[in-house]
Amino acid sequence: MAFTLTPEREREVDDILTRYPERRAALLPVLWLCQRQHGWISPEVVEYVSNRLDVSTAIVKGVVTFYTMFFDHPVGENIVWVCRTLSCDLRGGKAIQEHLESRLGCGAGHTSSDGKFTLLKAECLAACGQAPMIQINDHYYEDLDVDRLDQIIDACAADGSEAAAAKFATFATIGEPMRSSASSAPPPPTEEAVRLASQPPPSREDS
């Protein structure tokens, strides 16, 4: 069956098209809108985008397969990216991945049997200071241990990822930080640091 966007999203496409000199330049945001609605970029979506933006299906498929955030196959309701780059690995990223695999009953690159979660490995997601961390859909969860991870997965499975994010996420990939993570709050200055900061800088003659 042919793919169509909702009338509201069609209006969004119209609006996006006004921002670019050529229709094909709108490929990424239009694909993103489609994936938001459909969950993945199916052959019918490729056909729709090709017609809407007047580009070949080969170009659309090339873009979809180039970017890791687009899926050319069905995925779970929630995409769980587990960061496995150095800072996260030094702080337990491997254990986080192993715990997720055991909790979800699937390895990285696969989807849980209930279709709720797809587990994927990610390279550094730019939250190294709060390692180890994961991203679920549009939200970051930082300073993780397995207990907190279980709470997050439970909340996602029971109430959906937005409700889990409202409770546990530290950062939204679009928008403002949601709350400070435990390790992001700087420690209070020591008395010695305060004393040194209050002294005038040494003059050339002193050195």
Binding site for ligand FES (CB under 6 A): 83, 85-88, 124-128, 131, 133
> Least distance to ligand FES from the beta carbon of 151, Å?
20
Q: Which is nearer to ligand FES, 17 or 172 (CB)?
A: 172
Residue (117 or 171) nearer to ligand FES, CB: 171
Nearer to ligand FES, 46 or 131 (CB): 131
Ramachandran sector of residue 139 (left: φ over 0; alpha: ψ -120 to 50; beta: rest): beta
Which of 17, 146 has the CB closer to ligand FES? 146
Nearer to ligand FES, 30 or 83 (CB): 83
Minimum Å distance from CB 127 to ligand FES? 4
- Please report how close the Cβ of residue 90 comes to ligand FES at its closest, in angstroms: 8
Residue 124 CB, shortest distance to ligand FES, in Å, is 3
Kindly state the smallest distance separating residue 168's Cβ from ligand FES, in Å.
17
